Amino acid sequence: MFKEMRISFPVIGTLLRKDLLAFMRAYLSHYIDTVFLLFTIITVFGYFMPELNMGTSFGLFLFIGSIAGLGLFQVTERVGTMVADIEGDRTISYLITMPMPSSTAIAYHAVVWSIYSAITGLTIIPIGKILLWNQFDLSNFHYGKFLLIFVVVNLFFGFFALFITSIIKGLQNLSTLYLRVLNPMYMFGAFFYKWYDLEKISPVLAKLTLIIPMTYIMEGTRAAAFGQKDYLNYWTCLGVLVGLTVVLGSIGIRILKKRLDCV
């Protein structure tokens, strides 16, 4: 096992450098897309909605949610790219033949996707400060908790995309993925509201939303940014996300190994 690790780490390092260089070449375009999305959310909910008595802090509330949930918007692209490769050129087969375990080679995709999302998430923070300016009050911000859940959230999205890739039948199902999985996760995953506020309106619906990973992503990240009060317990959210990442990642890797005829 340790011999395999000694072989794998230099290979993974080389692959990571190659993929990060490729990512940075296309980064400007992705960054502009992200800024445009962020601009529309903050403008509407940070400036227009307060005039409708939604509260002046709503823009910051959504901004923190956007940082945490950015990876969700990238799942379709990740899944589509990998499914197209599996159905077409199968360049992933070359990666699997390299001197490292096939499980590591498959998991590598999820990790590098996580790094991509994390880079974009961190670099939009200055944009949020510029757009929100005086509304950008993080007096209760806990940097250690935020960094920890930020890493876990991005790892979750990476392995979640890997899991979806393993079970999706083909590119023709991408629209179904968005409509039946990603959009409900976004709309009912506490992005626009606090979970406890929903519980006051409909306890039954609130309990149902606890099966949605985005609920724990939003609540845990905001608990780290704004303080524990009014949010689900931070450590519970973190634990659920770690568990889901391990479970979904393990299932996804196992299915993909069979799909790719790995030995």
What's the pLDDT score for residue 7? 54
Residue 151 binned pLDDT confidence (cut-offs 50, 70, 90): very high
Provide the whole-model pTM: 0.80
What's the pLDDT score for residue 173? 80
Residue 85 to residue 90: CA distance in whole angstroms: 5
What's the pLDDT score for residue 1? 44
Question: Within a 10 A sphere around the Cβ of 240, how many other Cβ atoms?
Answer: 20
Poorest-confidence range of 47-61, 151-165, 190-204, 226-240? 47-61
What's the pLDDT score for residue 28? 76
For residues 127-139, average pLDDT: 78
In the chain, the percentage of residues whose pLDDT exceeds 90 is: 32
In the chain, the percentage of residues whose pLDDT exceeds 70 is: 84
For residues 205-214, average pLDDT: 93
| Nearest Cα to Cα of residue 134 among 56, 52, 24 | 56
Residue 68 to residue 128: CA distance in whole angstroms: 13
Dihedral, CA of residue 124, residue 22, residue 80 and residue 160, to nearest 10 = -60
CB-CB contact of 67 with 125 (8 Å): yes
What's the pLDDT score for residue 128? 82
Q: At a CB cut-off of 8 Å and minimum separation 6, what does 32 contact?
A: none
Please tell me which residue, 102 or 243, carries the higher pLDDT value: 243
Q: Where are the domains of the chain?
A: 2-259
CB-CB contact of 1 with 90 (8 Å): no
Residue 38 binned pLDDT confidence (cut-offs 50, 70, 90): low
Secondary structure (3-state) at 230 = coil
For residues 120-135, average pLDDT: 82
Residue 44 binned pLDDT confidence (cut-offs 50, 70, 90): low
Q: What is the mean pLDDT of the chain?
A: 83
What's the pLDDT score for residue 55? 55
What's the pLDDT score for residue 52? 40
For residues 182-206, average pLDDT: 87
How would you class 160 by CB atoms within 10 Å of its CB: exposed for 0-12, middle for 13-18, buried for 19 or more? buried
For residues 172-185, average pLDDT: 82
